Structure 1
């Protein structure tokens, strides 16, 4: 799925989001299925301070049928028509968003999907034979390359709503998400500190090693986004060797000592023990039997939490891989042989680390963000959840 200058079909992303919602729902809520209505309101507030026309898109997978499509402002689902090869234009799914200082309320259906918001221009979506083609702005020829946009991700099902901000692919628009619980109280996530938007880009520009090359601008000087390091490597903005020194030190350390992984917070007795032999880290269980092995990863595998750090949806390899991915991105594997390390005070302290994620977390009001795929290890993600939500919120925050 993650190829150089590739298009991304929605089907894979939606499946992952739906699965995540289902897994979170198990044991997370005793709310009866009938308590969550077919749609809930999503209040979108434009505090951006920008005068651009905002466009909203609600795209994803209908959970009841598994069909891909989009929802209009009323929450009515519209399946995508058949795609083509080459991809053909998708129907216009844009919803006119609120002007600066105003709010608009739309409805969220039982979906696993994304809420896109673009400034000044509508996004270009196309349909391939495998589903919706997502914007892929690491591709210089992508038609959305010069549009300022971002997205939030959510799952709404019979067990409630999970709604998160995301910088897994890029950091572009300052925004936050929220939910009003059944008791009337609210919770929010993803809000930057005052000055955090400029603070992030200034910090990235000042970071040695090519990290400032992740920033993309428009010809008129408008800052559009910073690509996540995975895509920065695809474009050549970051060297493929950017994590090699840290990887080599980790491999050397655990050739003569043991890395202990306790992947489940509610199962403290479930432990796996990693030791390096050559280019392989083998993990054994308490009986000494090898349960899974990992080839020595590269930066691509670490930033994408895939390939040599693939994380299948199982109860052994996937949870261990998630833990390793978080440890590499946060550079905690050398300082703590017991993983996951859940105390943020020790994150990103090595000179070789995911500086993109480091600077994002440093600018968040509560320190939480989805800056890489498994940033939820240890609950450091920007997520709101409620089992019986009254209303969800998406706020476009100030760019200054």
Structure 2
């Protein structure tokens, strides 16, 4: 089973680089994954400005944070400072529009950044790498068009995803070539989907157009995730209150049944609300965990009051609740998780950012909030014996 661990976005402090942690049995010896694999980067953006690629993360061989060059050689970050000091230039020149370039990626848990026109600014504190935090208007990367993919490559294989957990920006798709030569890919938008996302946000009542960030020349750069929009004040903190209140009212008299594991259908937990607390019991009636009434930040970030530790009880229940709140399925189905997409985002109070992005994906899959993988609706490719990975940069409109 794959458990996705949310990447903590930098907010002016040190942030851990790492998108995916693959948990499970080691790969068979005959399917050993090499120390590096090729990553083919194809620039279909149609843009004429320079492209820069970065492979940043935590080495699974040494446990150190650092970067990899085009050959897949790992370089640990030097010591940082306070205030933060400039990081070494880890950029790799990317292919021109209409061309491809192949680099190698090592066994990492990390991110592959790409930027158009300008190199990204990375700095180091005494605790490690400071990543871009463009919800902060003074972030030096605020006016750069960039995006990133998340991956883990280890002895059990490759997990590579496209992500909108922090923002929706320059479009791209990811892929993996399997041992039999077949290729699996995800992340492409529908034709016209890039502009359609921004247009839909602009016309969505309630301040959702405030998620969009533009440059002074009018260039649209990105849409922040709603959690970051709460930080900037673009969305009010009360944006999810009406839905939460209705959920709390319903489950004061009705039982919410959570079956968090598809391969363990007999493992069930039962939630009932008492005051501001939802208590979950097991089949014996013992309380196993409790949740305070969540606010919008907890819901959009799947953290704080909906914290999800990597354990066997609270974490799985929390991720199920998180998906139910973001997709607004908790009122229409007392058995969760609800993986019937017809029920997703049907309430007027919902995560409209996630709704709009999923609607414009060619295969319907995205990582629009941290536990969008509940029910396998995430934009992820995985293979235990990857021959090659792919990063395809798509047109912006």
TM tier relative to shorter chain? over 0.9
Aligned to 1:288: 285
Aligned to 1:351: 348
Aligned to 1:87: 84
- Offset of 1:389 from its aligned partner? 0.6
Tell me the secondary structure at the aligned position of residue 69 of structure 1: strand
- Cα deviation, 1:296-355, whole Å, max 9, x if unaligned, reads 000000000000000001000000000000000000000000000011111000000000
CA separation in 1, counterparts of 2:30 and 2:232?
46
Aligned to 2:271: 274
Tell me the secondary structure at the aligned position of residue 230 of structure 2: helix
CA separation in 2, counterparts of 1:161 and 1:3?
21
Q: Does the 8 A contact of 1:31 with 1:388 survive in 2?
A: no
2:161 counterpart of 1:164: yes
Tell me the secondary structure at the aligned position of residue 150 of structure 2: strand
How many residues get paired? 392
CA separation in 1, counterparts of 2:296 and 2:51?
36
1:1-400 pair list within 5 angstroms: 6-11=11-16, 13-14=17-18, 17=19, 20-21=21-22, 23=23, 26-27=24-25, 30-32=27-29, 35-400=32-397
CA separation in 2, counterparts of 1:34 and 1:190?
27
Q: Does the 8 A contact of 1:123 with 1:147 survive in 2?
A: yes
Q: Does the 8 A contact of 2:10 with 2:132 survive in 1?
A: no
Q: Does the 8 A contact of 1:4 with 1:234 survive in 2?
A: no
Q: Does the 8 A contact of 1:46 with 1:103 survive in 2?
A: yes
CA separation in 2, counterparts of 1:148 and 1:128?
24
Aligned to 2:3: none
- Cα deviation, 1:113-150, whole Å, max 9, x if unaligned, reads 00000000000000001100000000000000000000
- Offset of 1:232 from its aligned partner? 0.2
CA separation in 2, counterparts of 1:348 and 1:260?
20
CA separation in 2, counterparts of 1:170 and 1:149?
10
- Offset of 1:52 from its aligned partner? 1.3
- Offset of 1:32 from its aligned partner? 2.4
Q: Does the 8 A contact of 2:9 with 2:166 survive in 1?
A: no
Q: Does the 8 A contact of 1:5 with 1:234 survive in 2?
A: no
CA separation in 2, counterparts of 1:300 and 1:189?
28
Tell me the secondary structure at the aligned position of residue 209 of structure 2: helix
Q: Which runs of 4+ in 1 moved over 6 A?
A: 1-5
CA separation in 2, counterparts of 1:156 and 1:397?
24
Change (3 A) 1:94 1:322: same
CA separation in 2, counterparts of 1:5 and 1:105?
29
CA separation in 1, counterparts of 2:8 and 2:94?
33
Pairwise CA RMSD of aligned residues?
1.5
CA separation in 2, counterparts of 1:125 and 1:49?
26
Change (3 A) 1:30 1:158: closer
Please give the TM-score of this superposition, normalised by the length of structure 2.
Answer: 0.97
Q: Does the 8 A contact of 1:240 with 1:299 survive in 2?
A: yes
CA separation in 1, counterparts of 2:29 and 2:243?
48
Change (3 A) 1:4 1:360: closer
- Offset of 1:399 from its aligned partner? 1.0
- Structure 2 gaps of 5+ residues are 1-5
